[in-house]
Structure 1
Amino acid sequence: MTSTQPETSTLAARAAAASVITECLRAQMSAPPRSAAARIFGRTPLSAESEPWFLGALGELDVARRLEALGPAWRVFHSVPVGRGSSDIDHVVIGPPGVFTINTKHHEGRDIWLGSKRLLVNGQRTDHLRNASFEAKRASQRLSVAAHALVDVAPVIVIVGARRITVRERPATIFVLRERELVRWLCTLPAVVPPDAIEQLADAAARPSTWHDAPSLEPADVAAFDRLRREVDGARTRRRGWAIAALLAIFAALPFAALAAWASVMSALA
């Protein structure tokens, strides 16, 4: 795969959704090419394997774009490799209110139910709360070692695209928000970290070795992902166009069908 970004030795320049973009493109490489008819009728170019990665990338990119609205007092890191394997943290945010790990979940058009210890998606149990808590604890351990001081990290789950979120009871230590609430919520939290401490934490957070035992920052081919995204959007537009055309054809045929039925009834009564 040809990269469009230079190698970096710091996480400060790492592209948002880098890990999931890379996995999406790897999975997409095995997808068979669409036929001419499939292209005309708007079949998605995504394979069953690449689609979950694609949707995950869209969610992370959406949240990253929103985080750009934070002021200069904040530091944001994306797609942070952590641990020993291929796991990563979607976003690490450091600012006056403290340090946050943000786990993005793209659940477009789905219903979310939130309790103190459970988060359901269309009625199905998830591990979102447990995973977010573990992620923040691991981030706290790693960042504390690098900063030579105890660093508390708050876990945040950001739900992207949900149709409805029903809150029965909020978890005690995990914050669950819609994507549009995130920046406003962060900015309303009380400031507890002085500017010099923010810079020290950001310096530690920017080092890949802070987070991963054997860090390797594989740059994402963002240009290839953008091309794939345009293909997906184009296919969706064509499908919608065909659906609208079909509806118009049905409505156009209705008067003639009604007239034919009326003529048939009158003929039978004659």
Structure 2
Amino acid sequence: MRAATPIRSALARLLGLRTRERAWRVGAAGERITARHLRRLTDPWWARLTDRSTRWHVLHAVPVGDQGADIDHVVLGPAGVATVNTKHHPGATVWVGDHVVTVNGAATFYTRNALTEAARAARLLAAAAGGAPVPVRPVTAVVGARVTGRRQTRDGVLIVPAPQLPRALRHARRTLSDQRVHELYAVARQADTWRG
């Protein structure tokens, strides 16, 4: 987007205007920050330090369907499968209530979107893995903002600052055997799984 309209993009950045290019750029930066934090789950040194024998696996920017959608991060490990949607709000306050998430007081669709994304991933993974149900936990990782209120909505969406995400996942109740983690990771790595 920036290359297509370099002067307009530069001017908008200089004036601090909100543009589609800026939204994509800020979002991508947030996803990179979340990915850096998720690396703590897959780092062998960290696994030895925390005495975790089961490996965690993380896939980033997983293309889903054929309309250009993607899942920011898919995490597989002893605590199950999670879809992680990153939201980057530098300097904002994110409040988590029973059924709504607000950013600086404005309601968002974060809960609905996270649930939809997790349900879609569950359907696609189950179909590719032979039909057995694959529960998927919806997670929203918040970057650059202060998070207040609940840690989880009543619908089960975990809302967590990105730096706390590895700890939250690592300390969740074990739901998958080591063998099942490896089976699901093998399926999740296949592009055909996500075309649905």
CA–CA distance in structure 2, aligned partners of residues 29 and 210 of structure 1? 33
Q: Which runs of 5+ in 2 are unaligned?
A: 45-54
Of the three residues 33, 38, 61, the one matched with 1:79 is: 61
Q: CA deviation at 1:170?
A: 3.6
CA–CA distance in structure 2, aligned partners of residues 189 and 170 of structure 1? 13
CA–CA distance in structure 1, aligned partners of residues 75 and 161 of structure 2? 17
Q: CA deviation at 1:70?
A: 0.8
- 1:177 is matched with 160
Say if 2:84 and 2:140, in contact at 8 Å, map to a contact too: yes
Letter in 1 for 2:2: Q
Identical-pair percentage: 40
Say if 1:104 and 1:160, in contact at 8 Å, map to a contact too: yes
Say if 2:151 and 2:158, in contact at 8 Å, map to a contact too: no
- 2:139 is matched with 156
Q: 1:122 to 1:187 in 2, by over 3 A?
A: same
- 1:121 is matched with 103
**Structure 1 residues 72-128: Cα deviation after superposition (integer angstroms, max 9, x where no partner):** 501110101112311110000000110000000001101112111111111111110
Please give the residue correspondences for 1:62-141 in structure 2 after superposition, counting only pairs within 5 Å.
62-71=33-42, 73-141=55-123
Q: 1:200 to 1:209 in 2, by over 3 A?
A: same
CA–CA distance in structure 1, aligned partners of residues 159 and 152 of structure 2? 8
Two-structure CA RMSD over aligned residues (Å): 2.3
CA–CA distance in structure 1, aligned partners of residues 62 and 157 of structure 2? 20
Secondary structure, aligned partner of 2:111:
helix
CA–CA distance in structure 2, aligned partners of residues 28 and 180 of structure 1? 29
- 2:20 is matched with 49
Say if 1:114 and 1:167, in contact at 8 Å, map to a contact too: yes
State the aligned residue count. 181
Q: CA deviation at 1:166?
A: 2.3
Q: CA deviation at 1:210?
A: 0.5
TM-score of the superposed pair, with normalisation by structure 1: 0.62
- 1:30 is matched with 4
CA–CA distance in structure 2, aligned partners of residues 170 and 47 of structure 1? 30
Secondary structure, aligned partner of 2:169:
helix
Say if 2:41 and 2:56, in contact at 8 Å, map to a contact too: yes
Letter in 2 for 1:61: R
Letter in 2 for 1:174: V
Letter in 2 for 1:29: A
CA–CA distance in structure 2, aligned partners of residues 127 and 104 of structure 1? 13
Q: 1:46 to 1:61 in 2, by over 3 A?
A: farther
CA–CA distance in structure 1, aligned partners of residues 147 and 67 of structure 2? 33
Secondary structure, aligned partner of 2:41:
coil
- Higher relative helix content: 1
- Higher relative strand content: 2
Secondary structure, aligned partner of 1:69:
helix
**Structure 1 residues 137-196: Cα deviation after superposition (integer angstroms, max 9, x where no partner):** 00000000111121000000011000x322068412110001111011111123221211
TM-score of the superposed pair, with normalisation by structure 2: 0.85
**Structure 1 residues 211-250: Cα deviation after superposition (integer angstroms, max 9, x where no partner):** 114xxxxxxxxxxxxxxxxxxxxxxxxxxxxxxxxxxxxx
Secondary structure, aligned partner of 1:158:
strand
